[in-house]
Amino acid sequence: MANVAKLKRVSGGAELPAARFPVPSSAQETDPMLDSLESRLSSLRSEILSFEQKFSAQRKTLHAEFQASASNLLHYIELRRHDLRVLQEQLTLLGLSSLGRAEPDVLAGLNAVLSVLARLRQGGAEAGRTDMPGARSGQALAARHAEALLGREPAGRRVRIMVTLPEEAAEDGALVRSLLAAGMESARINCAHGNAAEWRRMVENVRAASAQLRRPCKVLMDLGGPKLRTAALRPGHQVIRWRPERNELGQVVSPARIWLSAPEGAQAPPVPVQASLPVLENWQNNLHVGDRVLFHDARGRLRKLKIVQEVGAGRLAVCSQTAYVVPDTRLRIKPRKGRRGAKPAPALLGRVGALPALARSLVLRKGDEVLLTLPDVLGEQAVRDARQRVAQPAHIGCTLPEVLRDLRAGERIMFDDGKISGVITSATPRQATVKITRARSRGARLEADKGINLPDSALHLAALTPKDLVDLAEIAQQADAVGYSFARRPEDLHRLQAELERLGALRLGVLLKIENRQAFEQLPSLLLALMRSPVAGVMIARGDLAIEIGYERLAEVQEEILWMCEAAHMPVVWATQVLETLAKEGIPSRAEITDAAMGVRAECVMLNKGPYILETIRALDNILARMQEHHRKKREMLRKLKLAEGIR
């Protein structure tokens, strides 16, 4: 037992507190410790196998491809129902596996440790076998499932890159080819935007580019799902405002550009403009370069426009004065010098047509009350009396009125990606009263069509909407996988799988998006339901998820999802705002570079569209290729470190 006694030292010389467990000082003292460990691990193994048996009937409903994965997931769930920290420290003290990397093959890991313990008890010094039956089979299954959903691993990089296609991808085949050439392995189409004809052209461009470049590329099409958002607000005044650009002395350095055209079938301006004025009865045809248009704006101030360009039936004008223009504003021509007619004839008098109403918003502060109402009630700001006391609270509708019946007092509610938070103080099937608990100190603006999150509410929304069912038929014909949002319970997945079976599209991959608190809390059950599909994976949609669980918990929750998915041999897509600043503005933040590097723990990283998307793909390709030399999933890979040569 001399070899065992040597293993009692803790790596690095730092010993664990004696209060946690005794450190054996001799072989005689080590024997009881080995006995205790072997007993504890044997008991744990029995509990794991017993737990698996409870799900034997459910396992028979799963696809054959995921039968072994389901067993391993159940083993891991039971393993994580125990606090193993002291046990892990004892195993580490003996130089054995602490089971901290057991996710892919839980039972094989346990068996390997038990095998080594048995050899130590017998006085053998031989290292434990790691090639026993079952070991590393989980990694092979995970790799196979990832390839089925996301395609083969790209050369030089294990993690795939998924890119959300912009609308231009429907018409611009060259853009799609450049995305593939830069490093895209999977193209995402968001079916919440556009129509079937546009999606079809996007897919055609992806397939053509893939064949031309000989680079495989999977197509994922995301279902829109139910849209729980704020409804319309009462529109503001019909008014257009423009103002010239001035320097710090108030001098005009660039006049405002104004476009005048007919209201119907308006011609697009030739250059960017600050305002477009619809003019009735094609009156603008009377205008020529050099003419000036005089009018009194909404404040009664005389303003002048100068015509600088004639383009078809439209006229481009400039103005060096700030103006507010409303419908029915009277326009008259002051002809340029040399033009006949000192006074404008009646035909030269024009009138501004209807203008778009200003979009209004609610200004909400901490402590305010706001009513969440049916969608047909136009939202309005609070009404205050002469003493500025609230006579009628602000109110705004929600696009899915059926959720109102699921709300209860005391539940939290978030608006606009969590920028505004509140607590429901009372609720009826027609409205809920919300007290604002968090907003900017000067007040936050809440506009129409902003997201609503209800993390505490047991919503009974159908994850598949009528539009989704129509879109699913198109997706089944065009895509390799379907993205599924808002699933909260296994029945939501069963419904999708039933629809795919009806469409004869069971071969279609299913990518389950974890984006709400209920889905996270039901993740083990959702993973088992997902295994009824032959090709499947999980997307960590971190935007909505962070809102619902709280930003401070996101890092922890990401880890837990990654653990569960690794145990289920389920490929993971790391998504939401990865290198977002780089894609939109061309310069990344330090924080998002670190975040992108953590994507190496998944099988795929998703990028959103942006004007700098090609540079973003190349940057992500470089980051992932470098990081995979250090990490594989959650394991550090100890390659030769150049930094370690910095001391002599």
The Cα diameter of the chain in Å comes to 118
Mean pLDDT over 328-350 rounds to 72
End-to-end CA distance of the chain: 38
Distant-in-sequence, close-in-space partners of 322: CB < 8 Å, separation ≥ 6: 241, 242, 243, 244
> pLDDT by residue (tens digit) across 594-620?
999 999 999 999 999 999 999 999 999
DSSP string, 600-619: GGSSEEEE---TTHHHHHHH
pLDDT for position 125: 44
The stretches of 183-232 forming alpha helices (DSSP H) are 196-213
**Which residue did the predictor score with more confidence, 250 or 9?**
250
Q: Is the pLDDT of residue 648 over 90?
A: no
pLDDT for position 13: 35
Residues of the chain with pLDDT > 90, as a percent, come to 75
> pLDDT by residue (tens digit) across 161-196?
999 999 999 999 999 999 999 999 999 999 999 999
Are 287 and 333 within 8 A, CB to CB?
Answer: yes
**Which residue did the predictor score with more confidence, 635 or 526?**
526
CA–CA separation, 415 vs 454, rounded Å? 9
Q: Is the pLDDT of residue 348 over 80?
A: no
CA–CA separation, 375 vs 394, rounded Å? 14
Q: Is the pLDDT of residue 340 over 70?
A: no
pLDDT bucket at 50, cuts 50 / 70 / 90: very high
pLDDT for position 95: 86
> pTM of this prediction?
0.83
State both tokens at 161: 């890159």
CA–CA separation, 318 vs 273, rounded Å? 9
| Residue 156: strand, helix, or coil | coil
CA–CA separation, 535 vs 53, rounded Å? 25
Q: Is the pLDDT of residue 641 over 50?
A: no
Work out the number of other CB atoms within 10 angstroms of the CB of residue 140: 12
- In the chain, the domains with their CATH numbers are 2-135 (no CATH), 142-226+462-636 (3.20.20.60), 240-351 (2.40.33), 362-453 (2.40.33.10)
Q: Is the pLDDT of residue 12 over 70?
A: no
Q: Which amino acid is at 385?
A: D
Closest residue by Cα to residue 79 from 54, 105, 56: 105
> pLDDT by residue (tens digit) across 539-553?
999 989 999 999 899
> pLDDT by residue (tens digit) across 81-102?
999 888 888 888 888 888 888 8
Q: At what angle do helices 590-598 and 613-627 cross, to 10 degrees?
A: 60
pLDDT for position 267: 79
Q: Is the pLDDT of residue 4 over 50?
A: no
Are 184 and 616 within 8 A, CB to CB?
Answer: no
State both tokens at 56: 């034997």
